[in-house]
Amino acid sequence: MKKAFLFSAILVASLAVLGQDQVTPVGDVRKVTFAANQLDLTTANAYVRIQAYGAAIIRVRISNRPFQPDFSYAVIAEAGKPALTRNEKGETAGEINLQTDSIKVRIRKAPFAISFYTPDGQLINQDEPGLGTSWIGTEVTTYKHMQDGERFIGLGEKTGNLDRKGNAYTNWNSDVFGYSVSQDPLYSTIPFYIGIHHGLQYGIFFDNSFQSDFNFGASNNRFSSFGARGGEMNYYFMYQPSVAGIIRSYTQLTGRMTMPPLWSLGYQQNRYSYYPDTEVYRIAQTLREKKIPADGITLDIHYMDAYKLFTWNKERFPDPKGMIDSLHRMGLNTTLIVDPGIKVEKDYPAYESGLRENIFLKYTDGLPYTGEVWPGWCHFPDFTSEKGRNWWKGQVTNYTNVGVNGIWNDMNEIATWGQKMPGNVLFDYDGHPTTHLKGHNVFGLQMARSSYEAARQALQKRPFILTRAGYAGLQRYTALWTGDNRAEDDHMLTGVRLLTSLGLSGVPFTGMDVGGFTGNPTVGLYTRWMQLGAFIPYFRNHTQLNTKSAEPWSFGEDVLATSRNYINLRYRLLPYLYSVFQQATQEGMPVVRSLAIDYTHDARIYNPAYQNQFLFGPGFLVMPEESVQQFAKVYLPAGEWYDLYNDVQEQGAQEKLIELSAVTLPVYVRGGSIIPMQSLIQNTTEKPTDTLTLQVYKGSKDSRFVYYEDDGASYQYEQGDYYKRSMSFDAVVKTITLDAPTGNRASQFKYIRIALHGFAENNLQVNGRAVSTTDLLFSYLNPKPLAGEPNSFTVKSLVLENSADKIVIKY
């Protein structure tokens, strides 16, 4: 027995030193160097560098060889003030102590391990003792101790529950047509998550574009971990007093979106595909005839000549510019799909110029990589090279010159038939040459970047850019939709969680194919999805080839009426939505907000029964439910809530059973909210009436909303051409305050109507002067409700001139 045990021990020891079978830890610290804001360590098996990227962000970089030149497509921030300082007085022989104003860092020397604490000494996060960081061959992994009751949220476009505890995920951008509701990976990679425990929250962004894996206690009860198949261990640790603060820190690192064109927030009518041009005209004219507000039509791959990029099928679209100009006159913008594959075909202009300018991805022997997609065998631009991006800019003018102002980037995972692009394809990686193994996950990001820069330069105004694939930081250039979903109830709800997870991961402008891309929705599902679409950042109806038509009029008059009601609501809420997008540009806050942002430590929001509920901006609580249900159990978080349709007030922190209706989606408004609305328009080129209505809901807590206007199209807002006004509700001193506006632009509204919800007072004071209210009959679903109409109710209101002075309303 002893001999057998000894033999086993020798065998294990022998295997541990055999090449790829070896697990190599970082090891003991042997050398310490500290300069301003940077600690460098040499250990038995690695090099470690720790830096501050702000008081709340610590970067940890670990390599098993000397550090290579630093480069990232995701991170745009630089290390700097406030500096990381070393507290040598508190150190021991085996420990190094670092700190900023917000985080304390303790480093154990033997073996190397790192822990993060709050300024008052609470443990936030630590390496798992005995494991830490290690390599198996080229694969590097960091193991973190899993705290009691710890939850994990975020990680971008990932299926599964809001709380990711007990699951594992892989990041490898994939073309997953008709994916299942539990499939992983999907199309995009955002290796950033938020951990929650004991009243604390932190974020970890693992900036490594190789295939990466995250484990949140799957198949083990000891640790969470993150690692990659190659490259460095390179992560950013963030601590803030709130999840919203974590999102701000993450988007401080990776950037924030610019203001979108206003038209892109309107309703978009899509299909795979609308052709020929007469069909496009029919869709456009029907939208207008049936008074369905809309701002965009998208053309899928059938507009091309044999699917060749930067071409038009002349039989289907003999006059592209004429058609696009006609759509513009109808208030409709045109978005075109673009795929990265350039067909290998002699005399095809894009192919010939790509060869001439040497911009295609290549094998190690210098020959261009060839993969098969829609046009046949194709080469692919290297968007990780400046030369490739500049070539793309020249090609995109083929579209912008005929009036296209929306570019939809598809198939950019990279997708090819066979879905197995070889690893020995080379990427420039902006002067840091590498292989497909490192370049794959950033290809979609760089294609979207190229389209954004091309269209912005050519149009000299804001383009709309959409992508299917991407990497962390994609929000700087593009919106993202969740790919080829299915017309099923569980897909609709999975889509909601994909959007809230993307929002937690720094991407505010997101959408899913409303109605489902594959298959045919039932009448009930289509109706519910169209209602939900009104509360999604990118509201696009889309279905694939060989499915039933899915335009709002395709399911009968009742469905048309309900769909139109919610599209109408969307357009009346554009002042609110546009202001929420402006907040996203400043703070990184999403439009579709997981309840984990505002109610982080309320265990009930993670219950699978309630995890699909979300906030649309700060004010609306949306409760998606399956179309087949007649009743639903919902959860109202702490605070006061008003039923959107009848103004009935409910107290929060309660579960509630509600009856569902085919004609309304359950939605509540948070007490204290200020919701700006306008009159109904049919598209964003139309001007609303001269009165902005502020729906003000009485609550027990203070709140603030920043209202925002600009021209909706240009970048002049970056030079101060905007109108911004902070509006606040104070529950203690009982005031509604509109601060003096800022910016160089005048508001488009001459008057402001204040509509008061939940207020019993008949007499108010405006800047110290007594005023009387009048009754206003109001409905969210119908612009001009009739007395006694369902979903209409009466509120107190008053109308004021939209003065440039501060306005204080005391109630």
The two three-digit tokens of residue 263, written as one number: 């038209």
Catalytic residue among 184, 232, 410, 710: 410
410 is catalytic: yes
- The number of residues in the chain equals 811
Give ∠ CA 362-367-369 in degrees, rounded to 5: 50
Q: Which tokens in the block code for residue 774?
A: 């009048």
Determine the pLDDT at residue 20: 62
3-state helix, strand, coil in the chain (%, to 5): 25, 30, 45
What pLDDT band is residue 570 in, cutting at 50, 70 and 90?
very high
| pLDDT for the residue numbered 704 | 98
Please choose, from the candidates 505, 581, 712, the residue with its C-alpha nearest in 3D space to the C-alpha of residue 257: 581
- What number is the average pLDDT over the span 135-140? 97
Half-sphere exposure of 727 toward its Cβ, with a 13 Å CA cutoff? 24
**Could you give the angle at the alpha carbon of 111 between the alpha carbons of 107 and 114, nearest 5°?**
25
Alpha carbon separation from 259 to 128, 406, 688 (Å, rounded) = 42, 15, 21
Q: Is 513 a catalytic residue?
A: no
**Cα distances (angstroms) measured from residue 440 to each of 258, 316, 422, 447, 547:** 26, 35, 10, 12, 32
163 given a catalytic annotation? no
pLDDT in tens, 406-457: 999 999 999 999 999 999 999 999 999 999 999 999 999 999 999 999 999 9
d(CA 239, CA 201): 7
Rounded to two decimals, the pTM is 0.96
Tens digits of residue pLDDT in 608-667 = 999 999 999 999 999 999 999 999 999 999 999 999 999 999 999 999 999 999 999 999
Provide the pLDDT for residue 7: 37
Q: Is 392 helix (H, G, I), strand (E, B) or coil?
A: helix
Q: Note the pLDDT tens digit of each residue in 81-94.
A: 778 999 988 899 99
Q: pLDDT tens for residues 472-492? A: 999 999 999 999 999 999 999
Q: What is the pLDDT of residue 90?
A: 82
Closest CA to 735 of 691, 762, 702: 702
Contact 250, 476 (CB under 8 A): no
pLDDT for 583 beyond 80: yes
Q: What is the pLDDT of residues 29-43, one digit of tens each?
A: 999 999 888 999 999
The token duo for 523 is: 């009448």
Per DSSP bridges, beta strands 362-363 and 425-427 are: antiparallel
Percent of the chain beyond pLDDT 90?
94
Q: Which of 163, 300, 484, 513 is catalytic?
A: 484
What the chain holds in terms of domains, given with CATH numbers, is 22-254 (2.60.40.1760), 263-472 (3.20.20.80), 674-810 (2.60.40.1180)
Q: Are strands 763-766 and 807-810 parallel, antiparallel or unpaired?
A: antiparallel
Which H or E run includes 271? Answer: none
Phi, then psi, of 394 in degrees rounded to 5: -65, -35
- Residues 707 and 709: their CA atoms lie apart, in Å, by 7
Whether residue 605 contacts residue 613, with contact meaning beta carbons closer than 8 Å, is answered with yes
Tell me, rounded to whole angstroms, the distance of Cα 684 from its chain centroid: 23
**CB of 564 closer than 8 Å to CB of 529:** no
Q: Give residue-wise pLDDT tens across range 312-361.
A: 999 999 999 999 999 999 999 999 999 999 999 999 999 999 999 999 99
Strands (E), 138-211: 139-145, 151-154, 168-171, 188-189, 192-197, 200-206
User: In angstroms, how far is CA 230 from the centroid of its own chain?
Assistant: 27
Strand partners, 466: 408, 479
Q: Rounded distance, CA 36 to CA 83, Å?
A: 7
pLDDT classification of 21: cutoffs 50, 70, 90? confident
Say how many C-beta atoms besides its own lie within 10 A of residue 695's C-beta: 23
Options 184, 207, 413, 625, the catalytic residue: 413
* Residue 452 to residues 75, 409, 448, 474, 563, Cα–Cα distance (Å): 18, 10, 6, 11, 32
